[in-house]
Structure 1
């Protein structure tokens, strides 16, 4: 089944009175002439959960007939003026059922809740093409006369008129500002609604109380703002993972780890069940192999390229490609299966419940600067104890040092995430310390990569030998990664020696 067709939509919306004249935009920026109008009749049905979860996230899902792009449209916010639109053609059978390809993409927001029709809009559209002196179309101005009906406890019916300016894919972004300066003096005013659907159902959408970190916030406000930010990050990257977007697995994994770390670091501020942190650990574990396989494949290919050709013996390149292609596909399948599981849906629902009605403790009402500094210092102390445990570890067994350094890396990550969370109130004081801790984490992450890579090379080398292939190059790469591990250990010691003490106030 073909993937949805994607395109970026860069536009701005304006309100115009019923008797207002369509502005003439020739002369605005690079626009030399205005062509049209061309009339189209559009009929759109919008879908959401009964509690408007997509609308709350700024996401639009509709089925539209009429016009040049009839079909199913999923619109995802990118920035204030830009949305990504995914398009799926209409189908003959069961036209009111949301295509599974689109429904699955918004799972992180619906958490398995059913998508149902929530609004119906009819639009009489008059389109004006805006072209430059050479006749190249730069944008389209549309004059939309809209009638809409939304459900709910009481039916809501409305009608209005709005203008919309949408840029062509190759138009300069600054043209939106040029057109804005021409539109406003003509009587049009910027719309406060991101979409027609949101204007129609605006009063019906439940409002989550915004979290604003002011000048002297309490601890709960800072922690809650951070948690919501990370949950939003996780959900956005869920869509990317399902679409196999670059770096989406890594970013979603980071968000899950940051959430888990925050629940544990700030457990005296927000009291959530330990099971929630455990489920976030499970999610990160399901996403991990996809990212690890990608990194290892890139590293070994680079190391192979750095070897003299006469040292690359047998079918090592072909076997590595085959191995990592298979591993990568299995890891991706595992990640997507996890995102389609009931366990993941339950996790999403739990996170939503916690962040909608956060179980804040009495300490959450205390001043953030003082209360959150304690949590960061505790994370710093755990990091220091983990580093101390690395000394003498190799005297027992070389692998013990690997384990101890990996544990130190995890504690460094937790400490860095804690510093990130309190940045609104302690950013300047912790800036230098956080930067050094991040460097330590990075070095130890590269060290851990050598540990996993050596284990993989050992297995591949044994397999090659057993199959009658030359295993020399696997051993050589294993030795290179052993030396790289020693180099990273030395680098870590040097970085740790320069790590500043945590600020006391």
Structure 2
């Protein structure tokens, strides 16, 4: 794996690997031939010396995150490994620089949502005697790398922990077929190795020192809110790295958390839930411009591309690109300022405290059903209010409120899904359709003001504003079509399958 840096910022690549335990006296399992692997290169021997950094209470380890400074081998430097899925991690690298006991700021910032201001200290030290073999196909292409590691580790904490073990690791080469991993695993297991239960060497070494992250808590709301908090933290890293769709996903997690706190506040500490909901509203507001700019740029860009060339007059694409690039830059800076703020850190601390105390949450099936039923009634009331208005700005605003109520109702159904049946899931599907259509309607309405602004800017720059006016006119027809579609979908919500307790 080769990783470059851009302007001092780490750049990541996917890492797909599996680890196996192998007794010290066992030979390396023969992997030639195994599936498409027909040959292996000569062995390479390295001695790797790695210092791992974490908070004193191992907050990164609990989240499955590894942060280290490693000497030796072809990839020495600072490494940050982030969990992505089974067998998959994303590795970010920076070259060796600065003081050896101080984590580079570029990496420390990426994990702030987990450290919550706690200092990163040297938590463990590993020395690995590594023998590696490149595994090749018939054409000499590298498909994977087998490493045979003898590891000696020392971890700190309340009491020192020492260990020594042997493990082998198979890492898939970039672009190689994942099926290769399966073929190699069969050969490894037949050779006497066992799949390791540890996701990393560090986790194996520190298992007795790291507080358990726990599994399902037995609390429906705690598990739901905890999952959204995890998503918030995971996408925090993506937003800081400018990963595609990360702003959207972080905003979704923020909205789900806020919706859950407001919908089920009677099952929680109502005052605390309301306060947290307001803080999440603030955070969503700080993330909003970045996401809105993404959506609008994509939407209007597609609309311009769909027009016949003879109707695109002037430097339309150039003006739009300049406009949205400036907006995106300002919005991204605003989002990062929010993520770096003490207010955001306090919000995460409060959310962590909430989901860490499931016993204080009252959530019998009856209480959960009542909360969902309340969200249904609020949705119906909002739709009724919008239907009484004449087409225009007031009705557009009312339909946007109905959309938000539909989203909250849908999220409520998602939260209680573990204890409900198929009928609520069907109702939730119909509500989602309403929410999606009203979301499209809102995007069209918002685009009108953007098009008006672009038209004025084109005029001020002596550009032809015809195309913006054309798109503005089309948006009116698009909004009317979305409104008609919403009316039909709303009929399904009322007449479709739903639990009796929701009536």
The normalised TM-score by structure 1 is 0.93
Q: Determine if contact 1:222/1:422 at 8 Å carries over to the other structure.
A: yes
2:162 counterpart of 1:157: yes
1:47 to partner: Cα distance: 0.6
Match of 1:440 among 434, 438, 453: 434
2:53 counterpart of 1:56: no
Task: For 1:386-397, list aligned pairs within 5 A.
Answer: 386-394=382-390
Distance in 2, matches of 1:422 and 1:165, equals 40
Task: For 1:32-47, list aligned pairs within 5 A.
Answer: 32-47=38-53
Partner of 1:257: 255
Q: Secondary structure at the match of 1:404?
A: helix
Distance in 2, matches of 1:320 and 1:331, equals 16
The normalised TM-score by structure 2 is 0.93
Counterparts in 2 of 1:276 and 1:167: CA distance versus 1, 3 Å: same
Partner of 1:287: 287
Match of 1:191 among 190, 196, 204: 196
- Tell me the C-alpha RMSD between the 2 structures: 1.8
Match of 1:174 among 157, 174, 179: 179
1:18 to partner: Cα distance: 2.1
Q: Determine if contact 2:9/2:106 at 8 Å carries over to the other structure.
A: yes
1:102-155 deviation line (CA, Å, top 9, x unaligned) = 111112211222111100011111112222233322222211111111111111
Match of 1:211 among 216, 227, 230: 216
1:205-236 deviation line (CA, Å, top 9, x unaligned) = 111332156xxxxxxx1111111111111111
2:83 counterpart of 1:85: no
Match of 1:399 among 393, 403, 407: 393
1:54-103 deviation line (CA, Å, top 9, x unaligned) = 10111111100001110011111112211111111111x31221111111
Counterparts in 2 of 1:157 and 1:457: CA distance versus 1, 3 Å: same
Distance in 1, matches of 2:303 and 2:201, equals 54
Q: Determine if contact 1:208/1:356 at 8 Å carries over to the other structure.
A: no
Q: Secondary structure at the match of 1:249?
A: helix
Q: Secondary structure at the match of 1:336?
A: helix
Distance in 2, matches of 1:324 and 1:426, equals 44
Mean Cα deviation higher: 171-180 or 467-476: 467-476
Counterparts in 2 of 1:304 and 1:39: CA distance versus 1, 3 Å: closer
Q: Secondary structure at the match of 1:144?
A: strand
Q: In structure 1, list runs of 5 or more residues that go unmatched.
A: 214-220
Distance in 2, matches of 1:427 and 1:287, equals 35
1:20 to partner: Cα distance: 1.9
Match of 2:27 among 21, 28, 49: 21
Mean Cα deviation higher: 228-237 or 386-395: 386-395
Task: For 1:302-317, list aligned pairs within 5 A.
Answer: 302-317=302-317
Partner of 1:96: 101
1:464 to partner: Cα distance: 3.8
1:360 to partner: Cα distance: 2.5
Partner of 1:385: 381
Q: Determine if contact 2:262/2:273 at 8 Å carries over to the other structure.
A: no
Partner of 1:278: 278
1:324-371 deviation line (CA, Å, top 9, x unaligned) = 11111111111112111111111111111112224634x32x3x3x33
Q: Determine if contact 1:377/1:502 at 8 Å carries over to the other structure.
A: no
* Matched positions, count: 491
Distance in 2, matches of 1:462 and 1:172, equals 52
Counterparts in 2 of 1:157 and 1:450: CA distance versus 1, 3 Å: same
1:436-493 deviation line (CA, Å, top 9, x unaligned) = 1111101111111122111222233334445544433332222211221111111111
Q: In structure 2, list runs of 5 or more residues that go unmatched.
A: 1-6
Counterparts in 2 of 1:30 and 1:469: CA distance versus 1, 3 Å: closer
1:384-442 deviation line (CA, Å, top 9, x unaligned) = 000010122227xx211011101000000000111111122225121221111111101
